[in-house]
Structure 1
Amino acid sequence: MQSMDWDDAFANMAYVENSHLLPDFWANRAASYRAELSDRRLEEDIPYGDEPRQKLDIVWPDGAPKGLAVFVHGGFWMRLNKSHWTDFAEGMRVAGWAVCIPSYTLTPQARIAQITREIGRAITVAAARVDGPIHLAGHSAGGHLATRMLCNDCPLEPEVQARIEHTLSISGLHDLRPLMHTKMNETLKLDAQEARAESAVLRDPVCAGTLTCWVGGGERPEFIRQTSLLPMMWQGLGVAARHQIEGSHNHFTVLEGLKLPNTPITDAFLGSAKLKGTDT
């Protein structure tokens, strides 16, 4: 049997032309967006812990928030920060939601299990500032962190977890075991015990909210597989879960619709999207 090339399976940037330019592009575009926001619409660097990266931003709507939306960034738990993604709050902000974007300690300074706990603390701090329902979203590694908030060992207090109405995992990683076979694991330092414990597909869900897993049709096959895997597992455990493959988007363009209201992916973040043909 031919062995799987797991490094290639997760190599998003290798399959996107000029992808090495994207981090600076995202950072500059997000900085321009922040410059356009008034002080009453943006609150930056709210601490949720004592470590340097344990900070979050909140982008506020024009009126009273309908609830709290949280977007957790990706980067394989190894790179990037909240300041790359501020402009992706705009779709939900216009829809009337307060949008929280947290940073977190990166590997290898933190293990993935610690990062999961950090995101739990970030959501708890943001939830104390914003009343109403909570909607979670995360991209790639952030999709992993968002869906871990729905698991039976979730770091959230029950009263916060009970407010989670909908979760959107965008190109999320829900089975971490294959990552042990990549060069990235020199940084991630996953062992079999942690990889199993941190894989949402191997845990029981406890949140009563709904789940949407979303992926671009032009992404690496492993991300498409992982997107379909979690709804298939959790629907059998009583979760209202579904998945959607959107067009020919790659791992990065799949996010672009979040910048606008009334797009399919923003509607999915709101939990109101009507998906076509790929519900599981």
Structure 2
Amino acid sequence: MQIRSLLSIASLLFLLISMPSQVTAVDCMADQEKALPEVMQCLSNQIQQLAGENKRLQTDVVNLQSNVQKLTSENQNLQTEVANLRGENRRLRNDVTKLKDAVQVAKNGNVGIGTNTPGQLLELLRNDADVAVRFHDPGQYWYTMGIDRSDAGTFKITKGGNLDANSILSLTYVGNVGIGTTKPQYKLDVKGTIRGQNVSPSDQRLKHNIHPLHDSLTKVTQLRGVSFNWKDNSQNQTTQIGLIAQEVEPIFPELVSTDSKGYKSIAYGKLTVVLVEAIKELQQQVAALKAQ
């Protein structure tokens, strides 16, 4: 039997008995005429002598097959740190002393990284740091996604090599989604400009306590339109136009909302209804003047 075949058998034996050692001597196989049982006994003796030492097994195994489970390598000089490979739950251990599993493949096909009991096809667990997956091409493009432990368990997709990089999308544990922000205060919080078609449910069958608006023209004349610039440099720095929420709230409280930090927003879309009624009232005044 060839020396490589004997090394493969010895490597398999070593994996099965889960010894954290390294076998590099080939004295047992110096005589290629030696019977296989004698070779295996010699290798077993070497392994037992090395028991307890924190060493690595260096093999030239190109294809080690047990049923359908394979360890393969194109490089015959690679080292394997596999300390335990076993039956129904296939484990690859990276800490022999503490018996921690680096990768666990359950008998139902679920794969766990950092956990021995994966509940899904792929489950990741990390107790002392962020749980993240990183993607990058050979060039400059990096993306990372995962759970940021330092940010109340927010799930993030970031542009960069870690979760502290520029956030593209954030999902907080309470269900708020942020695009361009890691602190979304609403179900959807976008920092930047959005484009699209927005519609709102308005079917009469969904409403009750329906009443017409009154004095819309008088109220509209109390509003003050202004031009301004945002203090936050990450916002659009071109000159903007709008209303001041604190000035609108006493006149149309229905148009103003306040978030958990006390910042106020205006539902500009609802202002259209007020303007419609104001125009109608103005038209009535014009018609009355013409009739005189």
Bin for the TM-score computed over the shorter chain: under 0.3
Greater relative contact order (Cα < 8 A, sep 6+): 1
- Normalised by the size of structure 2, how large is the TM-score? 0.23
- Choose between structure 1 and 2: higher helix proportion: 1
- Choose between structure 1 and 2: higher strand proportion: 2
- Normalised by the size of structure 1, how large is the TM-score? 0.24
